[in-house]
A and B are shown apart, each in its own frame.
Chain A
Amino acid sequence: MKSEYDVLVVGGGPGGATAAKAAVEAGLSACIIEKRPAIGTPVRCAEGVGEELLAEFIDPDPRWIAAKIDGARIIAPDGGELNLSPEMAGNEVGYVLDRKIFDRELVWQAAVAGADVFVKARATDAIVEDGVVRGAVVEYMGGRKEVRAKVTVAADGVESKFARWCGMDTAVPMAELETCAQYLMTGIDIDPSLTVFYLGNEVAPEGYVWVFPKGERRANVGIGISGKKSGKGHRARDYLETFVRRHFPDGKVIELIVGGVSVCRPLACTVADGLIVIGDAARLSDPITGGGIYNAMYTGNLAGKVAADCIRGGDVSREALMVYDRTWRESPMGKAIERNYKIKEFFITLDDEKLNTLINSAKNIEMDKFSTLTLVRELIQHNPRMLLELQALKKSLG
């Protein structure tokens, strides 16, 4: 490990790997430090990702694609089913990955491109001088070492501490942290080309249960619920057990996965002098789906490029790095997060009866191309009794 790089990336997830690769491809020196001994494990993900989105960054490879998905099904609390065609489901269909291999491949590619990589290397503090972030203190092989960088990228995921050490408030509000448990199950009766989502306050309060196939008769079966609905005797794991006993009593569990997903708004500002915050560390997962793989890769790539431009221009101040913050907010990803945040805020106010009404009425809506606004407009037409609240939602979406 050198003591100085152009770019130091804290965290070797999809965000960090993509950032390091973009930085070296732009001609910089870059280093990834990852605190775990292995990239990609333990998995903390349901592994679903949109096909087209992923294609922006990597060519599909059967080694890390566990299943190809053609459609999605939403199950209302009363059991009513809403089937979404690929066009309607948009980014929710595509692949279910094998992230142990996928994450590794991304870091591999960054390394091949020229980035340094160190595992079981943990940032324990930020180096901040006169308010400017200048790298990290790294614990590695029993020693502590200062690693300096012109730009440091905080890619340290949902459990991020780095931005906090740099003075940002990154705490996720309890109600906006989806606490999750998932089983990788085998021997279960499922449609291997369909992702299924179960909604309802009994199944998953302020969240949902997902069944994401990983081939014939096997799937990630998981749940996320709002932190404020979680507590002794009614935790994510408890709900998951109840669901699995009812739906897949004969299935076998070969992996237990736990984790948290933020569904809050992103950090108010994602840069500081010498610092860029990306992916889950910036609270960029989608407030409705909880999906954050693509968002981490998109912001990682952007961070690498912006870092290169700013370093070349000799200015890595917050003002100069703001290009990164503005660009992602104005991107389709940034706009989707803002829109989906508002939709989530609406959805969590619905009781099961209203959820049933909405989901069942959506069955009769024909759309060639998915558009949230068209959907809301149609829902208003079909549900005159929910006129007021739906109109308020429509207004908030602008």
Chain B
Amino acid sequence: MSVDRRLFLKLSALAGGGLMLGFTLPACSSKPSGFPNQHAGALQANAFLQLTQQGQFILQLHRAEMGQGVYTGMATLAAEELDLSPEQLQIEHAQYHPDFADPEMKLMLTGGSSSIRNSYHIVREAAASFAHILRLAATQLDANLNTSQALPELLSAVKQGGAWAEYLVLAGQISAPDEIVLKSPKDFQQIGQHNQRLDALDKITGKAQYAMDVQVPNALDAVLLRCPQLGGKVLSFKAETALASSNVVKIIEVTDGIAVIAKGYWYARKAAKLVQIEWQTDAAAKLNTAELLIERQHLLDTEEGYEAEEIGNKKDAVGERFEAQYEVPYLAHACMEPLSAIADVSAHKVTLWAGNQAPDVVIGAVAKATGIDKSLISFHNQMLGGGFGRKTLPDYIVQAALISQAAGMPIRLQWSREEDIQHDYYRPSATARLSATIAENNPTSLHSRVSSPSVLGSYLPAVATGLLPGWLPESLPNFAAGVTAKRDYSSTEGLTHSPYQFAYKRCDYVLQKQAMPVGYWRSVGHSQNAFFLESFIDELAHRCQQDPLAFRRHLMAEDEAHTRVLNALESLSRWGQLEANQFQGVAIHKSFGTIVGEVLTLSKGQNGLVIERVDCVVDCGLVINPDIVIAQMESGIIFGLTAALKGKIDVIDGAVQQSNFHDYPLLRLNESPQIRVRILDSEQAPQGVGEPATPPIAPALANALFAATGKRQRALPLSMA
């Protein structure tokens, strides 16, 4: 493929979000050689799988495990075709290799709830192709072997025959088959059955290894002081006293900040307090979230914008007009693990250890920043202490690499919680105006107009420079970002393609250009757009004097899949069958291919309103691991409740005001409701589960609060009072 073509595919995949280009299993087309993490003497049929001389299968985990369960899920897919049980596979974090690229995004990236959806075929094909080779080799070795038996039995028979080494050599000479027959779902032994998490044991005994836990000999601890105001750079600094404080080794200016390097994190942090820095700020230091909100309202007043969707004829928008305006704040990711990375950079070799969702973005960005060729960079992924989109960015790893390069020694960069919250790439703040026309208690049109910064416009320049060939003009990614930002599909996702039928439907996006760094945050545009749409649909139901659930069913009558979820939700939640002082709210939303409906039940007691229960119905296609699907629904709901009740990042004069869990609180155990999940049976291909439970919970809560108080809250976070 030409460079131009590849570049085009990468950019358009990033920009288009859902560009499906079809895939071929890369392993089938290329001869296995030079794969990373190759074990000595092991038989390797493709990038994913090896069989060692000891007879152990090893799977390369090509997606980042950040809690969503890919460690178990990928092992289950591979084990299925190898007739193994998932725990029999040894699993390693994959290093970068082009065969691990996501077929839609063209990058080795974990995001968009795509891991299982887009690996369902690839990983099974890799395993089935390997199984085919192993069977064929067995026949060639000994024609009397029964190759129809399960693979493990066949392999033991080969072993018992005493010619194992010869067998591996023989198998190594067989090419992958041109066509692979995958198991039929009715024969699945593991998929849909296996219900344990393979990484749980290490995670409850303290053995699971996150970036911060990697032991690199001679690595010193570094902290990086950055300007509290966005966009600030070092003008001058004084570090004599800091340098004299105990265990401090070096203090250097690097990448818009001052790095303090010491033997021990706490010593580095302590010395950092003694460094005096004068900062030089730019326009971003004038940023105020309150002003940005007003600006968005003005933008919505204009005729500007990109028409993301128009269905039907405007003439049919008849009746009385009703309009409501909603807004959501910026949000930080607040992964439980503050960002951390280890780098060992010398002139001809870069070794990196961190948890990240996008290894080739990391390698590209580090190559660009250090001037060292990509082929000399190796990145060792670790368990992620949460990701939620934050770790699609390479910023903290680039910092670690630059500090190591400047200091001439391996270093471990550790962010504080305060830095993690104040130097995030935030979920954009957004404002939406939704309007409808209603004729005789029947809605005839829906028009949504949303204004927000573009995540894509921020992400493209942040990652593209490292991905593009060096000879391209520096300005290209910025140019591409500028073009795509105006029509960033993620800004309107969920408002467009809704299941609701109106005689006339339209959705516009008005880009807000601003200096605040924004990024992908669990469920991206859906995280706010579901709140806008599902609150407004609820308002319409009340205006039309209809039951909110029945009203939705009526409006989505032509969409069978949505209707099936809504009906199941009605019975699971015992919709409408309430005791005195109980109130319910409903919301349903499709994202990442999966439909999730949620009913939230409030009860009113002596301490006011309490969230008693959330009932959740999910249709995510074929299920690989039912308990992980349930866990992801619980997780998405609780994550979304934090946003619905607490989350808010304020910026005053360019400085993020929140800093730690006292002023950026997360939902706690005592506030966590009972959650019941029902998974609907499906024979459709697997869809996403990591994100889709988050979008419906904020509107379900807002709608329940309206039922309880008669007061409509149109801005997040919501008040329970």
Q: Do A and B come from one complex?
A: no
- Interface on B for A, CB 8 Å cutoff? none
